[in-house]
Amino acid sequence: MAHGPSMLQEAVTRLREGRLVAFPTETVYGLGADALSEAAVARVFAAKGRPSNNPLIVHVADTAHARLVTSNWPREAQLLADAFWPGPLSLVLPKAANVPASVTANSPNVAVRCPDHPLTLELLRSFGKPLVGPSANKSGGVSPTCAQHVREAFDDDTVYVLDGGPCTAGIESTVLLLADLADHADHAPRVLRPGLISAEQIASVLKQPVADFVPGLKHEGTLNSPGLLEKHYAPATRTQLVSLADLPKVLSSVRSAVVMSHVAVAIAPPHHLELLPLDARGYAAGLYAALRSADARRCDLIAVIAPPDGGPDVAVWQAITDRLRRASA
């Protein structure tokens, strides 16, 4: 991980020119651009090949930055920022007028988050303005968890990569809808994308109920979230969630497969084993790199042993299962 004052300076210079800089966060690498510049934001959509109806998260150095891009900063937002920022929680709030409509895909709301990485916090402070930051992959692909993943997707001229080492959390932030509450019968904050911060943790800070993520649920009117695009986070190789019991049958139906598993399982050639940690946080941190190396083997199938659906860290397993479900959609 090579970086220094000169790399940070180069990154800031490029951002001021309206160009793209990939930055490290604790979750995945983001594709950064000036959030208040229409032209810079357009470059992000173009480079990713991202549909214009999928809004971007705005990354901020602190709550002062967050207030610049939101028109309403309720007590709930302040409580959550105090508890979880910098960290993997994006808050969806009414947007301020200075945020280009393209950032929010014409939604009246904007998602904001303060990422937990020292290099990126320094970048945000030096640049002095918020940055949009979708995951730094081509649209629909697997999110990048190290600088090399970003370099494989974009050329150096289009995207300058700030290398901050491997991402420690490994899956994207929890997205929480705090705006538009009046439109919901229950008026409860709602998790639009599950992540490492659970609905339960949020509820205990807010001391009020929080509607948990429901797979497949679409919201009336406003756009949905992350992965309401069904296929997402997907390798090129066909990917399937399988139970341990079904594995022999599945393997016998293909020439070669990579089995991704959190439990030891005996796999003989021509199949391969990609073993992931048994603990949910370790699994999340290694998930995308494992999907990429499984993909690189160019087998017929990536068979992922279904993760636990209970026990400790069940919320983290649910977030992982959400990503796997989308990878196999």
Concatenate the DSSP letters of all residues of 97-156 into one string. TTS-TTTTTT-SEEEEE----HHHHHHHHHH-S-EE--BSS-TTSPPPSSHHHHHHHS-T
Q: Which is nearer to ligand TXA, 113 or 262 (CB)?
A: 113
**Pair of tokens at residue 259:** 């089995």
> What residues does 95 pair with on adjacent strands?
70
DSSP string of 171-182, one letter each residue: SPPEEEE-S-GG
Compare residues 55 and 307 and give the one whose CB is closer to ligand TXA: 55
Site string for Mg ion, 256-295 (x = CB under 5 A): ----------------------------------------
Q: Which does 104 bind (CB under 5 to 8 A by kind): ligand TXA, Mg ion, none?
A: ligand TXA
Quick note: the x/- pattern for Mg ion over 145-184, rule CB under 5 A, is ----------------------------------------
For 273, phi and psi rounded to 5 degrees?
Answer: -110, 130
Amino acid at 36: L
Instruction: Tell whether residue 27 is a contact of Mg ion (CB under 5 A).
Output: no
Cβ-contact 252, 270 below 8 angstroms: no
Neighbours of 236 (CB within 10 A): 11
Q: Does 25 interact with Mg ion (rule: CB under 5 A)? A: no
Query: Which spans of this chain sit near ligand TXA (rule: CB under 6 A)?
Result: 25, 27-28, 30, 54-57, 88, 90, 92, 104, 107, 109-111, 113, 115, 133-135, 172-173, 175, 192, 223, 225-226
Among 135, 198, 239, 318, interactor with Mg ion by CB under 5 A: 135
Residue among 87 and 307 whose Cβ is closer to ligand TXA: 87
Return the one option of Mg ion, ligand TXA, none that residue 225 interacts with (CB less than 5 to 8 A, by type).
ligand TXA
Residue among 288, 223, 259, 293 nearest 54 (CA): 223
* Closest approach of ligand TXA to the CB of residue 278, in Å: 24
Q: Which residues bind Mg ion (CB under 5 A)?
A: 135
